[in-house]
């Protein structure tokens, strides 16, 4: 059905103006100061966006949905995660395909893609994690890029003995990524250093969730970013440091950027809004706040916001990784090293950034759109189909009420996780209408769309 959004304040990464938007056949077909509804087809749905913002659909460049990890499986599926995304204004998800070290990349690609194709209510693509790099993997990864349109890799410098890639393979993979024109995203923490620190702390009887941060302090993450940057410098590959949590890691990235390394930086909603004191909560409650890199000392947030403002950090994702408190996080009751890592926030991201970034004047509305949508589209080969409000772009739009107040909670969350990490926050702002390719998929925090409507977004490599 055609859609007319009238009287909204359109906010993109660069512009801020009042206009009407007309959408037909899944795309934006007109953006004009005033569009007369009486000239449009009779079945056009008209949305009055007076007093509201109209954003391009938000893109989350870092989510985990199907995730076999740390002896468990993340508890969302593509239905619950994509409903949560939509309720919060996110219309495109980029999920990490994380196979085990013995799995074939092509098998993993089909496994993840089949699940998403059946249940996703948002459009989606993947970063292909490389956890082995032999000849078979080299061939299959090339096919995954060239035939299936997955134009980004993921590597883990952390998680020793599980997802971690060794340096020889990292070098060869980045050399191949450079040839393919593919950007490589990376979890930057030194696996061996963490392993040693974990053993030391456990041997001292330091077993609670509050010891997770000390087991992987900021110097370990900064070393990881520097390590990735050095390999990018040697190979000429383009790289992207995911979920950067602290000033030391940002500084390592800036040092690399200043010497000409093509490195981009991502922040995620939990690090911007929560700090290490949450993981120190008593009675094992801190386990809800165990993620990697860990929540940090609060002053790091100032650097993250400042780096977003200056453009040193390009994107804001979530690293949505949902594990229940009961039955999953509590596997680590006797040792923090067994707590499945992750803090889900795919539904809350935009309202968190609006409340704690925009309304406190740390970043502008344009920067919020840039970091939460447009820049991810540009870096990952989705632009201008996604991340833009312009004629010809997909009609992925968010009509946003900047005044609505709400407190997140398990009762209003579509994620299946049994706790909400943000339930002591009052958030200001909420997506009133969310469209994916011209169809309304969410209204006022409720999913009203079609499960399985999401499409795989094939992408061309764009990092030569």
Contacts to Zn ion by CB under 5 A: 187, 319
Total residues contacting ligand URP (rule CB under 6 A)? 9
Question: With CB cut-offs between 5 and 8 Å by kind, which of Zn ion, ligand URP, none does residue 342 bind?
Answer: ligand URP
127 vs 178, beta carbon nearer Zn ion: 127
Please report which helix (H) or strand (E) contains residue 196, including its range.
Answer: helix 191-203
Work out whether 342 is an interface residue with ligand URP (CB under 6 A). Answer: yes
Residue pair 105/144 in contact (Cβ under 8 Å)? The answer is: yes
The two structure tokens encoding residue 346: 């795919």
Work out which of 321, 346, 397, 417 binds ligand URP, going by CB under 6 A: 321
Nearer to Zn ion, 319 or 394 (CB): 319
The DSSP secondary-structure symbol of 286 reads: G
Please compute, for residue 463, the number of CA atoms within 13 A of its CA located in the half-sphere on the CB side. Answer: 34
The residue (of 208 and 322) whose beta carbon lies closer to Zn ion is 322
* Dihedral sign for Cα atoms in the order 8, 11, 16, 19: negative
**Closest listed residue to residue 427, CA positions, set 453, 401, 449, 450:** 401
Taking CB under 6 A as the rule, does residue 170 contact ligand URP?
A: no
Query: Whole-number minimum distance, CB 156 to Zn ion, in Å?
Result: 7
Asked whether position 56 contacts ligand URP by CB under 6 A, the answer is no
In terms of DSSP bridges, do strands 72-73 and 90-97 run parallel, antiparallel, or are they unpaired? Answer: unpaired
Nearest residue to Zn ion, by Cβ distance, number only: 187
Please check whether residue 385 is in contact with residue 395, taking contact to mean a CB–CB distance below 8 angstroms.
Answer: no
**Residue number with CB closer to ligand URP (14 or 277):** 277
Q: Does 292 bind ligand URP (CB under 6 A)?
A: yes
CB of 187 to ligand URP, least distance (A): 5
* 123 interacts with, out of ligand URP, Zn ion, none, CB within 5 to 8 A per kind: none
Q: How many CA atoms lie within 13 A of 255 on its CB side?
A: 14
- Residues counted in the chain: 464
* Residue 20 vs 266, nearer CB to ligand URP: 266
Binding to ligand URP by CB under 6 A, coded x per residue (else -) over 272-291, reads -------------------x
Return the ∠ at Cα 255 (arms to 253 and 260), rounded to 5°.
95
Q: Which of residues 180-199 bind ligand URP (CB under 6 A)?
A: 187
Quote the least distance from Cβ 317 to Zn ion, whole Å.
8
Q: Distance between CA atoms of 299 and 287, rounded to whole angstroms?
A: 22
Query: Nearest approach, Cβ of 372 to ligand URP (angstroms)?
Result: 18
Residue 171: both structure tokens together: 């070098």
- Give CA separation, 60 vs 48, 96, 110, 376, in Å: 27, 11, 21, 8
What does 249 bind: ligand URP, Zn ion, none (CB cut-off 5 to 8 Å by kind)?
Answer: none
> Would the CA dihedral through 212, 218, 219, 221 be positive or negative?
positive
Q: Which is nearer to Zn ion, 304 or 431 (CB)?
A: 304
CB of 255 to ligand URP, least distance (A): 23
Residue choice 6, 52, 64, 463 for contact with ligand URP (CB under 6 A)? 64
**What distance in Å separates the CA atoms of residue 232 and residue 187, rounded to the nearest whole number?**
14
Q: Which residues bind ligand URP (CB under 6 A)?
A: 64, 187, 243, 291-292, 319, 321, 341-342
């Amino acid at each position: 059905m055609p859609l007319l959004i009238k009287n909204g304040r359109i906010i993109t990464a660069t512009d801020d103006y009042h206009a009407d938007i007309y959408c037909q056949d899944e795309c934006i077909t007109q953006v004009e100061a005033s569009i007369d509804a009486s000239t449009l087809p009779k079945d056009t749905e008209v949305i009055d966006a007076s007093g509201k913002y109209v954003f391009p659909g938000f893109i989350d460049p870092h989510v985990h949905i199907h995730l076999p990890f740390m002896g468990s499986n993340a508890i969302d599926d593509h239905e619950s995660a994509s409903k949560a995304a939509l309720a919060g204004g996110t219309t495109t998800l980029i999920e990490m395909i994380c196979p085990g070290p013995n799995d074939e990349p092509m098998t993993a690609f089909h496994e993840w893609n089949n699940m998403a194709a059946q249940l996703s209510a948002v459009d989606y693509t993947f970063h292909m994690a490389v956890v082995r790099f032999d000849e078979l993997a080299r061939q299959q990864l090339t096919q995954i890029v060239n035939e299936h349109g997955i134009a980004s890799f993921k590597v883990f410098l952390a998680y020793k003995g599980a997802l971690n890639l060794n340096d020889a393979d990292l070098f060869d993979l980045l050399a191949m990524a450079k040839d393919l024109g593919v950007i490589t995203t990376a979890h930057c923490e030194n696996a061996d250093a963490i392993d040693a620190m974990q053993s030391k702390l456990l041997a001292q009887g330091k077993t609670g969730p509050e010891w997770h941060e000390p087991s992987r302090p900021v110097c370990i993450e900064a070393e990881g970013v520097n390590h990735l940057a050095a390999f990018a410098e040697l190979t000429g590959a383009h790289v992207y440091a995911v979920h950067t949590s602290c000033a030391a890691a940002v500084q390592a990235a800036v040092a690399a950027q200043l010497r000409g390394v093509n490195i981009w930086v991502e922040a995620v909603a939990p690090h911007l809004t929560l700090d290490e004191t949450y993981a120190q909560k008593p009675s094992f409650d801190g386990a809800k706040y165990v993620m990697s890199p860990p929540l940090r000392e609060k002053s790091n947030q100032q650097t993250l916001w400042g780096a977003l403002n200056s453009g040193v950090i390009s994107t804001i994702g979530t690293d949505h990784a949902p594990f229940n408190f009961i039955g999953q996080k509590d596997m680590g009751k006797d040792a923090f090293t067994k707590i499945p890592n992750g803090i889900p926030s795919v539904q809350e991201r935009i309202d968190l950034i609006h409340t704690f970034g925009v309304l406190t004047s740390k970043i502008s509305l344009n920067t919020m759109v840039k970091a939460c949508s447009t820049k991810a589209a540009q870096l990952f080969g989705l632009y201008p189909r996604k991340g833009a409000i312009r004629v010809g772009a997909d009609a992925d739009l968010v009509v946003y009420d900047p005044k609505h107040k709400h407190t997140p909670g398990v009762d209003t969350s579509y994620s299946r996780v049994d706790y909400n990490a943000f339930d002591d926050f009052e958030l200001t702002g909420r997506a009133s209408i969310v469209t994916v390719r011209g169809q309304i998929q969410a209204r006022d925090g409720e999913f009203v769309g079609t499960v399985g409507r999401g499409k795989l977004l094939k992408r061309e490599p764009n990092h030569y």
